[in-house]
């Protein structure tokens, strides 16, 4: 078969590939052919800065020589072996490394392949734990989750998720959960001042736990930043408060660090900012440096012990994914963690975070910018029709997308969340690239909100 032309590829893309979260009737192909560092190149050789880390997963830039070499070396040994009753040395080393890095007490690692599966694993493990522990609590049959939460697109993850526009359609397929509002500080509940927000949200949590803890198996949270909700940044202290209360009321805590893990917030894990050790830690996206699908759910030995017994007792965790713990992904993940050490990635972040904060201050005073939220190298800029009233644009106006289209014409690739423009560059981004990213966004917002 002759090599397809550029036009063939564009046509086949439209005719055969069904893209995620994309209205295919309007889809305009964007064919990325290659990349280097934080730059992506399309099939016509146009260059784009990867402003959202290829959907929040790239960490050290594309084609990092260390990670490329690690995958090639692993290929020379074995590309895949099963984790069902068997193991391989690369995946074992990664488990050990994750345990050393993770908050204290998380010393058991269950591998899967995506963020959603890491969450499913935590939900099911929590469920089974309460039924099998020495003092069983089978009445714990529900979960506590936050409004606007996003934990992935499988049905368990969607059940604990709460993004109306993505999830409402599937409601009849989902299990019920106890829901609390997202602790946001831009649109506060009536009568609550900014400095009272933390106390308000923790009081609400305590009320629910006091009433219903007997039925709640686990609370799930995106620590510090609810990413898909529009980069909602929680009031400082909320996560620590959640940990104290869930412990007091005997509710397990699942920290979903799929988006915020691996340095995005300025620390390796977001939980570190508030000295929190959850009962489950879910990681994916950046685990392999953004190279390959691999995820992990870390938990404690206490939980793990509830799954031990004689074979006939049937206490094992009946859950698995064919590619869970894939050695190529594990090799990439180990190399990514080496790069963190060798290139002192975390030490370089404060300067980059500060550099991003400067233009964000300018952007914050634009006429149609309601709120600018930054945590580490994550930023969300919320566009509003009326700044004083905090009235959002109708989502059908696609203002966020219009900003991204304008940024794309300036060589920056972004993807919005409704009216929120998201900036989440790879940690390897340079100071100059941060300036380029911010300028494209600043000009893009101006252009897309004028009329």
At residue 300, what are phi and psi to the nearest 5 degrees?
A: -95, 165
For residue 69, what are its two tokens?
Answer: 């070499």
Whether the CB-CB separation of 381 and 424 falls below 8 Å is answered with no
Residues 118-147 that bind ligand PLP (CB under 6 A): 119
CA torsion 434-438-444-449 (nearest 10°) is 150
Asked whether position 114 contacts ligand PLP by CB under 6 A, the answer is yes
Least Å distance, CB 151 to ligand PLP, is: 5
Residues that bind ligand PLP (rule: CB under 6 A) add up to a total of 15
Least Å distance, CB 101 to ligand PLP, is: 19
Would you say 218 or 384 has its CB closer to ligand PLP? 218
Least Å distance, CB 229 to ligand PLP, is: 9
Asked whether position 324 contacts ligand PLP by CB under 6 A, the answer is no
Instruction: Pick the binder of ligand PLP from 256, 279, 382, 442 (CB under 6 A).
Output: 256
Instruction: Pick the binder of ligand PLP from 145, 258, 339, 438 (CB under 6 A).
Output: 258
Which residue, 136, 203, 209, 224, is CA-closest to 178?
A: 209
Whether the CB-CB separation of 292 and 153 falls below 8 Å is answered with no
For residue 183, what are its two tokens?
Answer: 């602790």
Whether the CB-CB separation of 139 and 331 falls below 8 Å is answered with no
Would you say 53 or 132 has its CB closer to ligand PLP? 53
Would you say 113 or 382 has its CB closer to ligand PLP? 113
Q: How far apart are the first and last CA of the chain?
A: 50
Whether the CB-CB separation of 403 and 421 falls below 8 Å is answered with yes
Q: Which stretch binds ligand PLP (CB under 6 A): 67-75, 114-122, 162-170, 182-190?
A: 114-122
For residue 105, what are its two tokens?
Answer: 């007490």
Whether the CB-CB separation of 84 and 259 falls below 8 Å is answered with no
For residue 423, what are its two tokens?
Answer: 């900036």
Whether the CB-CB separation of 335 and 289 falls below 8 Å is answered with yes
How would you class 137 by CB atoms within 10 Å of its CB: exposed for 0-12, middle for 13-18, buried for 19 or more?
A: middle
Give, to the nearest 10 degrees, the angle between helix 327-342 and helix 65-75: 150
Residue nearest to ligand PLP (CB): 115
Q: How far apart are CA 261 and CA 284, in angstroms?
A: 8
Whether the CB-CB separation of 64 and 329 falls below 8 Å is answered with no
Site string for ligand PLP, 147-166 (x = CB under 6 A): ---xxx--------------
Asked whether position 111 contacts ligand PLP by CB under 6 A, the answer is no
Instruction: Pick the binder of ligand PLP from 52, 71, 94, 116 (CB under 6 A).
Output: 116
Site string for ligand PLP, 215-254 (x = CB under 6 A): -------x----xx--------------------------
Asked whether position 259 contacts ligand PLP by CB under 6 A, the answer is yes
Would you say 116 or 306 has its CB closer to ligand PLP? 116
Would you say 404 or 406 has its CB closer to ligand PLP? 404
Residues 330-359 that bind ligand PLP (CB under 6 A): none
Whether the CB-CB separation of 279 and 250 falls below 8 Å is answered with no
Would you say 291 or 393 has its CB closer to ligand PLP? 291
Site string for ligand PLP, 402-421 (x = CB under 6 A): --------------------
Would you say 259 or 332 has its CB closer to ligand PLP? 259
Q: Which stretch binds ligand PLP (CB under 6 A): 112-120, 296-304, 400-408, 410-418?
A: 112-120
Q: How far apart are CA 180 and CA 140, in angstroms?
A: 18
Would you say 151 or 352 has its CB closer to ligand PLP? 151
Residues 268-287 that bind ligand PLP (CB under 6 A): 284-285
220-229: b or e for each residue (b if 16 or more CB lie within 10 Å)?
A: bbbbbbbbbb
Asked whether position 426 contacts ligand PLP by CB under 6 A, the answer is no
Chain positions contacting ligand PLP, by CB under 6 A: 114-116, 119, 150-152, 222, 227-228, 256, 258-259, 284-285
């Amino acid at each position: 078969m002759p090599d397809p032309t550029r036009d063939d590829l564009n046509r086949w893309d439209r005719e055969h590939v069904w893209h995620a979260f994309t209205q295919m009737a309007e889809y305009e192909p964007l064919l990325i052919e290659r990349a280097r560092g934080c730059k992506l190149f399309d099939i016509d050789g146009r260059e784009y800065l990867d402003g959202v880390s290829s959907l929040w997963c790239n960490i050290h830039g594309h084609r990092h020589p260390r990670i490329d070499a690690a995958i090639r070396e692993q290929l020379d040994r074995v590309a895949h072996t099963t984790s069902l009753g068997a193991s391989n040395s690369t995946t074992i080393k990664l488990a050990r490394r994750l345990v050393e890095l993770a908050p204290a007490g998380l010393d058991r690692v269950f591998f899967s392949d995506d963020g959603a599966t890491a969450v499913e694993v935590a939900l099911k493990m929590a469920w089974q734990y309460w039924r099998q522990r020495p003092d069983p609590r089978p009445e714990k049959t529900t979960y506590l989750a936050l409004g606007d939460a996003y934990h992935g697109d499988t049905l368990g993850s969607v059940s604990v998720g709460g993004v109306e526009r993505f999830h409402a359609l599937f409601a009849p397929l989902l299990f019920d959960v106890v829901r609390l509002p997202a602790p946001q500080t831009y649109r506060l509940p009536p009568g609550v001042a900014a400095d009272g927000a933390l106390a308000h949200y923790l009081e609400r949590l305590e009320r629910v736990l006091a009433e219903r803890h007997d039925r709640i198996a686990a609370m799930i949270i995106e620590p510090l930043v609810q990413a898909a909700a529009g980069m909602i940044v929680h009031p400082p202290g909320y996560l620590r408060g959640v940990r104290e209360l869930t412990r007091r009321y005997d509710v397990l805590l699942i920290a979903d660090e799929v988006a915020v893990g691996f340095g995005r917030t300025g620390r390796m894990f977001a939980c570190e900012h508030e000295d929190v050790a959850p009962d489950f830690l879910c990681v994916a996206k950046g685990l392999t440096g953004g190279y390959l699908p691999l995820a992990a759910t870390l938990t404690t030995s206490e939980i793990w012990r509830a799954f031990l017994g004689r074979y006939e007792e049937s206490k094992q965790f009946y859950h698995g994914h064919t590619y869970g713990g894939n050695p190529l992904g594990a090799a990439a993940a180990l190399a990514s963690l080496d790069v963190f050490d060798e290139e002192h990635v975390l030490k370089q972040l404060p300067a980059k975070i500060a550099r991003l904060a400067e233009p964000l201050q300018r952007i914050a005073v634009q006429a149609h910018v309601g709120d600018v939220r930054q945590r580490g190298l994550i930023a969300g800029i919320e566009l509003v029709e009326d700044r004083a009233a905090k009235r959002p644009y109708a989502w059908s106006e696609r203002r966020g997308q219009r900003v991204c289209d304008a940024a794309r014409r300036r060589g920056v690739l972004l993807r919005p969340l409704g009216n929120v423009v998201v900036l989440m560059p790879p940690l390897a981004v340079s100071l100059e690239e941060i300036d380029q990213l911010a300028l494209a966004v600043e000009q893009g917002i101006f252009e897309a909100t004028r009329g």
